[in-house]
Structure 1
Amino acid sequence: MSSSSPHRRTSHTTPRRSTRRRAAAVALAGVAALVATAVQSGAATAAPKAPVPGAESVKLTPSQRAELLREADAATADTAAGLGLGAKEKLVVRDVVKDRDGTLHTRYERTYDGLPVLGGDLVVTTDAGKTERVVKATRAAIKVAFVTPKISATKAEQQALSAAKAAGAEQPDADRAPRKVIWAANGTPVLAYETVVGGLQEDGTPNELHVVTDAATGAKLYEYQAVHNGTGNTMYSGTVTLGTAQSGSSYTLTDTARGNHKTYNLNRGTSGTGTLFSGSDDIWGNGSPSNAETAAADAHYGAALTWDYYKNVQGRSGIRGDGVGAYSRVHYGNNYVNAFWSDSCFCMTYGDGSGNTHPLTSIDVAAHEMTHGVTSNTARLVYSGESGGLNEATSDIFGAAVEFHANNPSDVGDYLIGEEIDINGDGTPLRYMDKPSKDGASKDSWYSGIGSIDVHYSSGPANHFFYLLSEGSGTKTINGVTYNSPTSDGLPVTGIGRAKAEKIWFRALTTKFTSTTNYAGARTGTLAAAGELYGTDSAEYKAVQDAWAGVNVGSRSGGGGGGSTFENTADVNIPDNGSAVTSSLTISGRTGNAPSNLQVGVDIVHTWRGDLKIDLVAPDGSVYALKASGYDPAPDVHETYTVNASSEPANGTWKLRVQDQGPQDTGYIDAWRLTFP
């Protein structure tokens, strides 16, 4: 991201919109601060919902998936009209998930006047042809004043190259000419250029930096890296069976049972596909890093395990769900201590580590990198800010899931990432899911500025959430490893088991998350997934609430050690620089007065939260100020406020009152809740 500082706001109405957008982008790394359209709505008194019968997805054959995609593609015009899209908007089908009961979750990209809309993706859930739910990456209407750029593509390219150089790229070059797009992931949609910059990053990783430039002003609107990095274990998985192919007297590392996945030797190179591993004896490697085939065997094996996990556990055949395998490249560069997934080559690539003696080719690394591909072909979480942290966490989550599922005695399942590579020089793992901060950089819990740090560290709260949901808080020993997981509120969390946690996260990833989902949106999406799978009054649903509360995202479930929580998730639009709006919660069935530590959880999506004045209004009209307006150069409000409401009767209608007191920025109340300890 840009290293420039936010514009100093000297008065409440001074900055122009462009200045304010830049400030928000610097403060929270851009679009990650926006939330997908809420997937649940309704008042606090809504009755619990039973599990949705057949909510789990079915395993589609490639031909079945292709047919569903064809049917969806043939109906895009009708779907767009049904959603109320404008005459210049069209839908492009990207993915489809089918539940056992026949419900379809179809993922679309959008175009406007023939131009791709970045941040315009959406998921439409239909049952028997009737639309049940729509999750959008942006709520803004897609409409721009002009589609002819006011700056040249050359200027956009120069700006992108400068951004790459500022990020430390070596010999950056434009991979392809800037393309015209509609930028809709943050604020009001505008015409823009998207430029992809190649070359190498500072550490030798291939560069695939996407830079979005305002086509009217030339200002940089956003940037993100499309090459997704990760690190992991060393090679030892013991003696394993590999999928290979025979031609005459020669064998190759081609897994014909898993989409023809192939493994290639880059032989210290950094470009191209490399040379397909082949041999005459169908025996690969000898367990030593000095043998070039050893790393290849580990990468090939890890890809097979990951393929099997997604197919047999989650019902997805290959990264794209189409039965086609990606490919692996090993021996990338010289002393390259990393591994990465690249959309452009549709492949996983592994370095050999320090001294070329620690190939990053173990089970959890292979699963981590291959999962980046799955994410890229489902939610497409932008690899920056909070969405980037969720992207990285998704790869860690399924890296651990695949390692447990493999049940390999030489590399047993655990909640540690990179535990067998001595990347720190002291035998410690790269990341810890039970308490992420043990690595010295990752964060255990969410806070308002987490989107501004490296995605490998902002992934911490989601990794921690997954551990808490799976295993619960406190001390526990699993496969010989002792974990001790705390919570941000000091209250316990009871786990539901890893298998259920995996199902919930995968369903949210494939049917609820969009490119701009942040932590608040991840909570909403996983709750919706848990509700469909197990019911909204289930222990699993409540555990999701409690696990998120344990990492400071949202409030606890009622009776789970955190008191009774009442929540309203109905959206309320906040007019720009206008009158106050309210959202109500009617509390009944309680005795006496409200507590002296009433918890008021507030989730507001807004492009400039400094404009917002937020109050809690008691049933008798008493007003409790939660937040004043003023200089605060960041989007969104996701906070829990403590109010001494002991003079107020608990029962009655409470209101959250919000007023936008500054011009040029918009938003809405996404959800709010009252927790009575």
Structure 2
Amino acid sequence: MKRKLTVGAVLSASAILAGAIQVSAGTAQANPSPASASQAGQQHSELLALAAKAAPAAARALGLGAQEQLIPKDAVVDADGTRHLRFERTFGGLPVLGGDLVVHESASGALKSVDEAVTRQLTLPSLTPKLSAAQASAQATGTVRADIGVSKDADEAALQEVGSASPAALVVWADSGAPRLAYRTTVEGLRADGTPSRQILVTDATSGALLSSHEEIQTANATGSGKGVFVGSVPLTTNYTGSTYQLKDATRGGQSTTNLAGKTSGKGTLYTDADNAWGTGAASNTQSAAVDAQFGAAATWDFYKNTFGRSGIRNDGVGAYSRVHYGKNYVNAFWDDTCFCMTYGDGASNTHPLTALDVSGHEMSHGVTAATAGLNYSGESGGLNESTSDIMGTMVEFYANLPADKPDYLIGELININGDGKPLRYMDQPSKDGGSADYWSAGVGNLDVHYSSGVGNHFFYLLSEGSGAKTVNGVNYNSPTSNGSKVTGIGRDKAAQIWYRALTTYFTSTTNYKAARVATLKAAADLYGASSTEYAQTAAAWSGVNVN
């Protein structure tokens, strides 16, 4: 949601930033010149520090109450100096869930507008809970344990084991309904397929009623040489210690790959090698999956860096690490924001690793979403979270353009996770997977997020390639529209620029498909002009998936 601000409140919120950010704006543009990881981290830290100085004045200009404060989360500066400052909100020192917002300022420091997850004044009768933290934690654990008894037909998301619960922490719930005092509890466990589970539950601090729950572990999925299971023969940037080579890349924020050797916890053991030639291409060689993972992390880093000027997942120059050979017969892969790491299982019979390139790009893009819009992993926001990862994972595949993995609009087509040779998902007509939505409908938010993502995936395909029949890299597509209209594609590169700008500049934690349409149109206008073909086709592509 967005509200316009009056001119009278404009200068007070940003006067502190007017001169200071201008100095560093040239190094924080949408496509800056290459910088080292340490430089990128310093630039990002400086922008956040400046945003922190502006936060009190911005809070006053927005009419926030005396108990409300803004905490900077991210900052983006356009080439023309326009600033987009992303804040979290607190009330009485407590985090406000659903209180995030993005402040948009002109290069001169004028406060132009704000995108807010929730546009309401926060008032609470009391910050004293009726339930204790121990009661809230026990109740949250009991809720998760109760779910184990619910039949889910061997759904991989079903829990088979519940472990410990973190101490419940007081928060303010403002995501839906009237703001209220609540507890946030983290309950850890293990899913039926071996994936670790970290469920975040929000419960009313007065009644104990469950307000929200979502799964935090998000799934799918010197120059050396490597042969991966999926990427083929590729170059690898490694680290030489004087006696051995390490699968660690200092040029990309220290990204590294470790071997869990069948374990399901810990960091694993860093891969080392005597001759800097890694893997054989066979899954039976433990280094081969590591080659896939290390190359996938590098390709994802390079895609974001060279396409959007983003230095690493958090845009701070710090590289994530990858863990391969997780568990036994584990048919999945996942990103965990807590360890800032990527994890891959070895698949059925431990012979089919989940280390394909689009899986790497997909999962690590969950980290980008967490560092920017923070899209809730449920409802339509969860679908947008998943479609963002499908979109960016696909773009990583096109960016790398590997002979061994020709880029396409199919998700997980090489890992054969279902055992029938078919992809996990199809972007041109998502319903071909048997569960995903081609078009928006009132109930789409009730679907699993991997299926409600079909609306966003279909939109992106239509915007990139257009409707109707088409062949790309030898793959045949035939994309329909909900209204029978014809959509003319603008190319995937422009479509990705529009989506990324909307994600990092306008999306908030509660963005739904209707709001995503507004955000991408604003992004298209920013990049190409409101009267441009790109803007018109963005609107047409949304209409093609019944978002009007």
Question: TM-score, length-normalised on structure 2?
Answer: 0.90
Which amino acid counterpart does residue 56 of structure 2 have in structure 1? A
Question: What is the Cα deviation at residue 215 of structure 1?
Answer: 0.3
Tell me the equivalent position of 1:228: 218
Matches within 5 A, 1:234-245: 235-245=229-239
Supply the distance in 2 between the matched residues of 1:299 and 1:417 (Cα, whole angstroms). Answer: 17
In the alignment, which of 54, 57, 60 is matched to residue 75 of structure 1? Answer: 54
Which residue, 184, 188, 197 being the options, matches 1:194? 184
Q: 1:329 aligns with which of 306, 323, 328?
A: 323
Q: Do 1:140 and 1:189's aligned partners in 2 also have CA atoms closer than 8 Å?
A: no
1:406 equivalent among 400, 405, 411: 400
Rate the CA distance shift 1:169–1:58 in 2: closer, same or farther, 3 A. Answer: same
The yes-or-no answer on 1:37 pairing with 2:2 is yes
Task: Specify which of 433, 447, 458 is matched with residue 439 of structure 1.
Answer: 433
Q: Helix, strand or coil: the match of 1:200? A: strand
Residues 1:161 and 2:141 aligned together: yes
- Quote the Cα distance in structure 2 between the aligned partners of 1:345 and 1:163: 26
1:646 is matched with none
Could you tell me which amino acid in structure 2 is paired with residue 90 of structure 1?
Answer: Q
Per-residue CA deviations over 1:254-299 (Å, capped at 9, x if unaligned) read 1111000111111111111111111211111110000111000100
User: Which ranges in structure 2 are unaligned for 5 or more consecutive residues?
Assistant: 6-25, 149-157, 222-227
Q: 1:502 to 1:434 in 2, by over 3 A?
A: same
Name the CA distance, whole Å, in 1 between partners of 2:509 and 2:53: 24
Secondary structure of the corresponding residue to residue 172 of structure 1: strand
**Quick check: 1:39–1:528 contact (8 Å CA) kept in 2?**
no
| Residue of structure 2 in register with 1:347 after alignment | 341
1:390-429 → structure 2 map (5 Å cutoff): 390-429=384-423
Residue 516 of structure 2 corresponds to which residue in structure 1? Answer: 522
Aligned counterpart for 2:80 among listed residues 92, 101, 108 = 101
- 1:77-476 to 2 correspondences below 5 Å: 77-127=56-106, 128-165=108-145, 166=147, 168-231=158-221, 235-476=229-470
8 Å CA contact retained: 1:151, 1:216: yes
* Other structure's SS at 2:263 match: coil
CA contact 1:523–1:553 (8 Å) conserved in 2: yes
3-state secondary structure, aligned to 2:99:
strand
CA distance in 2, matches of 1:366, 1:225: 19
Tell me the TM-score normalised to structure 1 length.
0.73
1:57 maps to what in 2?
A: 30
Cα shift readout 1:73-114 (whole Å, capped 9, x = no counterpart): 122111111111110001100111110001111110011000
Matched residue SS, 2:162: coil
Q: 1:38 to 1:547 in 2, by over 3 A?
A: farther
- CA deviation after TM superposition for structure 1 residue 56, in Å: 7.0
* Contact 2:3-2:113 within 8 A present in 1 as well: no
How far off is 1:302 after superposition?
A: 0.4
Paired with 1:282 and 1:63, the residues of 2 have a C-alpha distance of 32
**C-alpha displacement of 1:173:** 3.0
Alpha carbons of structure 1 residues 502 and 38: separation in structure 2 relative to 1, 3 Å: farther
- Give the direction of change, closer, same or farther, for the CA distance of 1:384–1:404 in structure 2 (3 Å limit): same
CA gap 1:56/1:248 in 2 versus in 1, 3 angstroms: closer
1:628 match: none
For residues 122-178 of structure 1, the C-alpha deviation after alignment (integer angstroms, 9 at most, x for no partner) is 001111211112000001211211101011212211221123220542332344201
More moved, 446-455 vs 54-63: 54-63
Distance 1:479 1:91 in 2: 48
Q: 1:253 to 1:406 in 2, by over 3 A?
A: same
Q: Deviations over 1:466-487 (max 9, x none)?
A: 0000000000000000100000
Alpha-carbon distance, 1:39 to partner: 8.4
Counterpart selection for 1:495 from 463, 485, 489: 489
Is the 2:232–2:404 Cα contact (8 Å) retained in structure 1?
Answer: yes
**Conserved 8 A contact 2:463-2:541:** yes
2:190 maps to amino acid: L
| C-alpha distance in structure 2 between counterparts of 1:272 and 1:160, whole Å | 26
| Contact 2:460–2:495 under 8 Å retained in 1 | yes
Question: Alignment partner of 2:335: what SS?
Answer: strand
The one-letter code of the counterpart of 1:344 is T
Partner of 2:69, secondary structure, is strand
**Match of 2:393, SS?**
helix
Q: For residues 301 and 181 of structure 1, do their structure 2 counterparts lie closer, same or farther at Cα, with a shift above 3 Å needed? A: same
Q: Given that residues 39 and 525 in structure 1 are in contact (C-alpha distance below 8 angstroms), is that contact kept between their aligned partners in structure 2?
A: no
Output the CA distance in 2 between the equivalents of 1:325 and 1:143: 40
**Aligned residues of 1:520 and 1:553 also touching (Cα < 8 A):** yes
Contact 1:38 1:524 in 2 (8 A): no
**Residue pair 1:235, 1:360 contacting (<8 A) in 2 also:** no
The alpha carbon displacement at 1:355 in A equals 1.3
- For 1:506 and 1:38, locate their aligned partners in 2 and report how far apart those are by CA, in whole Å: 22
What letter corresponds to residue 2 of structure 2 in structure 1? Answer: T
Counterparts of 1:531 and 1:212 in 2: how far apart (Å)? 38
TM-superposed CA distance for 1:427, in Å, is: 1.0
The DSSP-based 3-state class of the residue aligned with 2:539 is: helix
Q: Amino acid of the residue matched to residue 94 of structure 2?
A: L
Of 348-357 and 154-163, more deviation after overlay is shown by 154-163
Secondary structure in structure 1 of the residue aligned to 2:524: helix
* CA–CA distance in structure 1, aligned partners of residues 467 and 29 of structure 2: 27
Q: How many residues align?
A: 505
Q: Partner residue of 1:30?
A: none
Are residues 466 and 38 of structure 1, via their aligned partners in 2, closer, same or farther at CA, if it must alter by over 3 Å? farther
User: Contact (CA 8 Å) 1:90, 1:110: kept in 2 or not?
Assistant: yes
Q: Show CA shifts across 1:167-205 (max 9, x none).
A: 542332344201000011111110000000112122211
CA contact (8 A) 2:4 2:112 kept: no
1:561-603 Cα offsets, whole Å, 9 max, x none, are xxxxxxxxxxxxxxxxxxxxxxxxxxxxxxxxxxxxxxxxxxx
Instruction: Please give the alpha-carbon distance, in whole angstroms, between the structure 2 residues aligned to 1:38 and 1:303.
Output: 38
Report the AA paired with residue 213 of structure 1: T
Is the CA contact 1:37–1:138 (under 8 Å) kept in the aligned structure 2? no
Hey, what's the Cα distance between the residues in 2 that align with 1:181 and 1:173?
Answer: 23
Please report how far the alpha carbon of residue 538 of structure 1 lies from its aligned counterpart in structure 2 after TM superposition: 1.0
When Rg is computed on C-alpha atoms for both structures, the one with the higher figure is 1
Question: Structure 2 CA distance, aligned partners of 1:142 and 1:235?
Answer: 53
Q: Quick check: 134-143 or 295-304, which moved more?
A: 134-143
Q: CA deviation at 1:391?
A: 0.4
Aligned-pair Cα RMSD in Å: 1.7
Which is richer in helix?
2
Distance 1:353 1:462, change over 3 A: same
Relative contact order: is structure 1 or structure 2 higher (C-alpha 8 Å, sep ≥ 6)? 1
Query: 1:26 maps to which residue?
Result: none
8 Å contact kept, 1:412–1:479 = yes
Report SS of the residue matched to 2:546.
coil
Query: 1:237, 1:274 → 2: CA distance?
Result: 23
Query: How far did 1:66 drift?
Result: 1.7
Where do residues 588-599 of structure 1 align in structure 2 (5 Å cutoff)? none
The one-letter amino acid of 1:157's match is S
Which one-letter code corresponds to 2:316 in the other structure? D
Instruction: Give the SS at the match of 2:428.
Output: coil
**Structure 2 residue matching 1:341: 3-state secondary structure:** strand
1:593-634 deviation digits (Å, cap 9, x = unpaired): xxxxxxxxxxxxxxxxxxxxxxxxxxxxxxxxxxxxxxxxxx
Which residue pairs with 1:15 in the alignment?
Answer: none
Deviates more, 1:528-537 or 1:54-63: 54-63
